[in-house]
Amino acid sequence: MILSELRTYLKDRKSVALRDLILHFDTDADALRGMLQVLIAKNYVQKASAKEACGTSCCKCDSTLTEIYEYNSPTELKKQKESIA
């Protein structure tokens, strides 16, 4: 897998849990996190937290299910740059 495949997958789906990426690309979590960090540094992707909690307070949720990555659309990037300026 190359970064462009990962970026395209995220672009098509807008928001993806790390677990889905692991299953789709058949790659381990740490390898994907490394590639995602490159995309985050280039501002193509941002890391978000899960929208909803599982309903318990045990804090034992699988991190691959709660680690969400979202694609930054060019429109969103433009808005972010304008709000900084």
Q: Could you list the beta-strand ranges (E) of 1-85.
A: 15-17, 45-49, 67-71
pLDDT at 3 over 60: yes
- Contact yes or no for 72/14 (Cβ under 8 A): no
CATH number for the domain harbouring residue 72: 1.10.10.10
Give the pLDDT score at 83: 63
72 assigned to some structural domain: yes
- pLDDT tens digit sequence for 38-61: 999 999 999 986 655 555 555 566
Structure tokens at 55: 């309903």
pTM over 0.95: no
42 assigned to some structural domain: yes
Quote the number of domains for the chain.
1
Domain, as residue range, for 21 = 10-51+59-84
Mean pLDDT, the chain, whole residue set: 81
23 assigned to some structural domain: yes
Structure tokens at 2: 């190359």
The closest alpha carbon to 77, from 42, 34, 47, belongs to 42
Angle of CA points 69, 28, 22, to nearest 5°: 45
